[in-house]
Chains A and B, each alone.
Chain A
Amino acid sequence: MNWTEDQVLQLSPDASSTKAGLTQAKKEKWLILHKNDKAIWGEIKGSGKTPYQTVIDINNVAFKCTCPSRKFPCKHALGLFLVYARSPEAFTDKEPPEWANKWLTSREQREEKKKAKSEKPVDEKAQAKRVAAREQKVAEGIEEVTLWVKDLIRNGLVNIPERAYEFWQSTAARMVDAQASGMAAMVRNLGKIDYTGEAWQEELLRQLVRIYMTAEGYKRLDSLPDNLQEDVKSLIGWTYNQEEIKAQDGIRDTWQVLGRTDEQEERLTTVKVWLYGQQTQRFALLLHFFAPGQPRQVTLVPGMVMDASLAFYPGSVPLRALIKEEFGTEAFESLSGLQDFNALEHECARIVAQNPWMDEIPLVVESVIPVMEDKQIDLVDRENRKAAVSSTFDKSWLLMALSGGKPLTIFMIRKGSALLPLGAWSDAGYHLF
C-alpha cells in the first residue's frame, strides 16, 4: 500500500518522537536508501563512528534499528518511513544486505515458532485447577459488590455527587483483590460520570444496573448460554490466554482499519483499533494496553487495509480479536453499510438482545446527512429520521464540511443512545475524526 505521512506519524509513540522523527525525514541525511517488495532499509550517521542501520518490514509493519533508543519505533525508523512516504522514488531496488536480511529472516522464523508453539497441547488439568481457585475469589467479590450496589439504592443516589473520588476507589480496590478487574473498572467508571451535567442521575443508575446485572449474571453463570457466559466472564475481568485464542480457527479477510481511540484508565492506556472485514462484513476490535513509559507498538493505523486472519475472543457478539496471521497490506476502499437508522436500530436491537451489556456498538451507516442547528449537530438518514451526535464529538465542523449537505457514509460507535462518528468517506477518501 501507499503510506501517507499522517499514517506513518500515527505510529509514533509520543509527541517528542514525532518531532525527532521529522528531523530524520530528510533523504539527504540517509547514506543509503534501498527497498525490496518486503522491506525498506537505510543507514544514517549517528553520534558514533558507524552509521545506524534501520530496517522496516512494510508488509507486516515492524521496525529494527541499531541505535540505542528505547522508543519504539525510534526516530530513525520514523524518519526512514517518512522519507518512504514522501519520496518512495528515493529508494532503489536491491536485495537486502546481511544485517537487514538477518532480522527479516528471524521475524519469519519467530512467526513459524509461534505457530508451532500454539499447536502444542494444553495441560487441561492444571488449567481447570487455576480456574476453580479464581472462580472462588471472584464469587466472593461478586457477593460484596452486589451488597454495595443494593446499599446505594436503598439509601438513595441523590447525595452521590458530593462524595469524594475515593468513594469508588475502595470498592474498586476490593474488586481488584477479588481478581475481578473488569468489575473494578466498571466501579471506577462511576467516578467518571459528569456529575455537573444534567443527565448524571440516569447515567449513574444505568451504570449501577450494569454492575448489578453483571454480578447477577455471574451468579447464574451455569444457566446462561455458552457465549453469554463468556460475555459475563469477560465483563468480570476474566482474562484469556492469547495463545489459546490464537489457537482457534482464524477468520481471514481484508480488514479495513476504520478508527483508533486512546483511552486512559488509571495509569493504563488502552488503544482501541476498530476493523471491518470487507468480505465477512463484520467488525473486530483490537485492544492494546500500555503501562506508563511502555513503548506503544500499534502498527495498524486508520486508512490502511490488512489481509489477515483474526482470532475472536468468545462471546455472544464476538468483537474483540487478535491478529492470528498477517499476509500483507492493501489499498483502502469504500465499503457498504446500513441503509438507514431503522436498520441501525434493528442491528443494535439484535446485538443488545444477544449481549445486553454491550455498550459500544460499531456501525457503518450510508447516506447520512449531518445537519447543524445552533451549533448542535444531528444526523439525518434517507428516511428523515434524526439522531443526536454524542456531545463528546468535537469534529462537527469537519463533518459538516465533508458533507456539504450531501449524504456521507459514516463509521460510528453507538454509546447509549448517542452516536459518536469516528470516520467518514468523502470524495477524497476516508477521513478520520
Chain B
Amino acid sequence: MNLINTLVKNALLGTSKSAVSKSELPEAIASLIDTQSVDQEELLLKASGMAFSYRDAGFQHPTTEPEHVDVAPEETKPYTSSAALEILKRLQRDQLDDLIIHWLSSCRQAGYIAHPAYIPGFLASGTTDLTVRQYLPDVLGARGQWLARKNPDWAYLNQPEDHLWQHGKHEERKAFFKLLRKKEPVNARKLLSTTWSQESANHRADFLAFIRHGLSNEDLSFLESCINDKSRKVKSEAIKLLMLIPESSLSKKLIITAERYLQARKSKSLLGFGKESLAFEPAPIDLAWEKYGFPVESLDKQFTHEAYFFNGLLEVVRPSFWNDHLGLSSDKMMMILVKDKALKKFIPALVKATALHQDADWAKAILNMVYAEQEVVIEALSDLLPSLVTALSNEDKQYFFQKSIHHRAGKAGIGLVEYLNLCDFQWSLDFSKQALVKLYNNYADRGIQHYERDKFYRLNASLNPDVLKQKSIVLPPDGERRQTWRENMEKLFEAVELRKLINEAFNSK
C-alpha cells in the first residue's frame, strides 16, 4: 500500500521537515479528517490510523497459480500405537538415548512407523547421530522421506547409503564404516576396497581396525594385499587380522613354524598311566618372520633368542591349535604349564592369544587357574581379564560370576559392576536376582560413585524384566537411607520397566 509507505516516510523525517499534504490522501480517508482543526502531527497520525485499519479490514491475500501440491506418498506401514508414542515422549523428555535406540530398533523390527509429529525431531538427531540415522529410513516412512527432501540438512535420508562414505568427514566415514561392517561385513569390505588407494595411511589403518568385526575367509585376499602396504601401521594391522583367520596362508605358515617348538611328552609308568609333560624344543629362527614384526632376538633375560621368538609366535597362534597338535585339553595344558618352572614364562603369551582369538575354552581354562589362585596366571592376566570374560560362553560367564572371579583376580581384577557389564546377554530371572543381591552387598553400604553410575544403568539391557516384581530384595531396611544406592536402583528399575513397556508396545498386535 503506497499510502502507508508515504506516511511512514513522513513520520521518519518528522512533520516539521516533511508535512503530509491532504491532497496526497485518498478521498475515502481525506473526507473523514477535518483538516482545519488538526495540526500536521494529528493529520499524519489520523491518516495513518485509518490507513492501517483500512488495510487490516480489507486485506486480500494474493492468489497464487494452482501449483502442483507436493503431497507425501501414502504410507505402506501402520503407525505405532498410542502406547508406544507415550513411551517415546517419556524417553525423549528424560533424554534416555539408549532406550530411544531400543524404541527405534523395536519399531523397525515390528514393521511400524513413527507418527509424523516425531519426524522433525528424529531427522534433526540423525544429522549428528549415525546410530539413530540407521533406523530412520524405515521408521520415518514415506512422510519422513518427503519431508527430508525439503531440508538440505536432512538430505541424508534420501541419499544412497554410501553417500556419507563418499562425501563425509573422516569421523563420519569411520562411524559409517563401523556400523556397516557390523551389519554387512562383505559389503563393507567391498566398499573399502573401492576407495582404498585414495585413503591416507592413517585412514587406511583406522578402517582396517574395524575389519576385525565379522572377520572371515572372504576377507583373505583383501588382507593379503594389505601386507605389501607402504605403511607399517597398515601392514601390522593386516598381519594381525590375517593371523586371526585360520585359513590364511600366513596363519598356516605361522603354525608350521610354531609347532616344532613345543612338544608333548609322556613318561612311562608301571600301570600305563604315564605322566604328561610339555617340552620346549629350540629350533633355528626363521628370520623371514622379522618382516612380519616378530622379534628374532631376545629382549628378556629369562628367554633365549629361540624362546623369545617362540613366545612372540605363541602370542598370535590360535590357542586351540595346541589342543590338536599336542593332544591335550586346555585345562591339562594350563596345569602342566603352571607347574613347569621352565615353561610357565610362556603363560602370558597364551593369555594374550586367548584374548586375541576370543577362545572360550581357553578362557575358561585360564580363569579356572585364576580361581585356583595360581599366582603366575593371575600375574599373566595383566589387563586382559575383561577380554577373557567376553570370550566365555554365557553359561561360563555366570559360573565365574558365582565364583567372584572379578575379585579373585586380585590386582588384575575388575569391579563387580564392570564384570556384569561384560555379561551382555539376556539374564534369567535367577541370575538377575543373584546379580542384584551381590551388587547390593557390594555397593549399598559404600554407595555408588559418580563414575560407576553409567555402568549400573547399562545393566538395564540385560536384567530380566520379571525382577521388577522382586525389587524388595535390594531395598535397604527401613531407617537406612543409602541414598545413592536407592537413587541408582530407582533409575535402573525405571529403565528396565521402560524397556519392558517398549517390548510390550511393539509386540502386542
Contacts and interface: CB of A to CB of B under 8 A. Distances in A.
Interface of A: 4-6, 9, 22-23, 26, 28, 86, 149-150, 153-158, 201-202, 205-206, 208-209, 212-213, 341-342, 345, 348-349, 352-353, 356, 369, 371-372, 375, 380-381, 383-387, 397-398, 400-402, 404-406, 416-417, 426, 428, 431
A231 to B, nearest CB: 14
Contacts of A205: 7-8, 11, 48
B473 to A, nearest CB: 14
B116 A154 contact: no
B59 A348 contact: yes
9 contacts: A22-B94, A150-B45, A153-B11, A157-B11, A372-B150, A375-B151, A385-B61, A398-B117, A417-B59
A349 B58 contact: yes
B87 to A, nearest CB: 10
Interface stretch (B14-22, B167-175, B201-209, B408-416): B14-22
A417 B471 CA distance: 59
Contact of B86 (A5, A9, A26, A353): A5
A428 B4 contact: no
B86 A4 contact: yes
B504 to A, nearest CB: 13
B115 interface: yes
Interface residues of B, number: 59
B57 A158 contact: no
B146 A405 contact: yes
Interface of B: 4, 7-8, 11-17, 39-42, 44-45, 48-49, 52-53, 55-67, 69-72, 79, 82, 85-86, 89-90, 93-94, 115-117, 119-120, 123, 143, 146-147, 150-151, 471, 490, 494
A158 B72 contact: no
Majority secondary structure of chain A interface residues (helix, strand, loop or mixed) = helix
A185 to B, nearest CB: 19
A156 B17 contact: yes
Contacts of B66: 384
A209 B53 CA distance: 11
A205 B11 CA distance: 7
A209 B89 contact: no
B150 A153 contact: no
Contact of B12 (A158, A348, A402, A428): A158
A386 B61 contact: yes
A317 to B, nearest CB: 13
B146 A404 contact: yes
B189 to A, nearest CB: 38
Contact of B71 (A345, A384, A406): A406
Nearest to B142: A404
A352 B57 CA distance: 6
Contact of A402 (B4, B14, B117): B117
Nearest to B16: A154
B41 A153 contact: yes
Contact of B494 (A26, A154, A345, A349): A26
A356 B53 contact: yes
A345 B69 contact: no
Contacts of B63: 383-386
Contacts of B85: 428
B143 A404 contact: yes
Given A5-B89, A345-B59, A405-B146, A154 B40 contact: yes
B13 A156 contact: yes
Contacts of A206: 48, 52
A387 to B, nearest CB: 5
Given A156-B11, A402-B116, 20 more contacts: A5-B86, A153-B45, A158-B12, A158-B14, A205-B11, A205-B48, A212-B45, A345-B59, A349-B58, A353-B57, A397-B119, A397-B120, A400-B150, A401-B143, A404-B72, A404-B143, A405-B69, A405-B72, A417-B59, A431-B117
A401 B59 contact: no
Contacts of A213: 45, 49
A201 B9 CA distance: 9
Contacts of B150: 372, 400
Contacts of A4: 86
Contacts of A352: 53, 56-57
Contacts of B14: 153-158
Contacts of A86: 86
Contacts of A356: 49, 53, 56
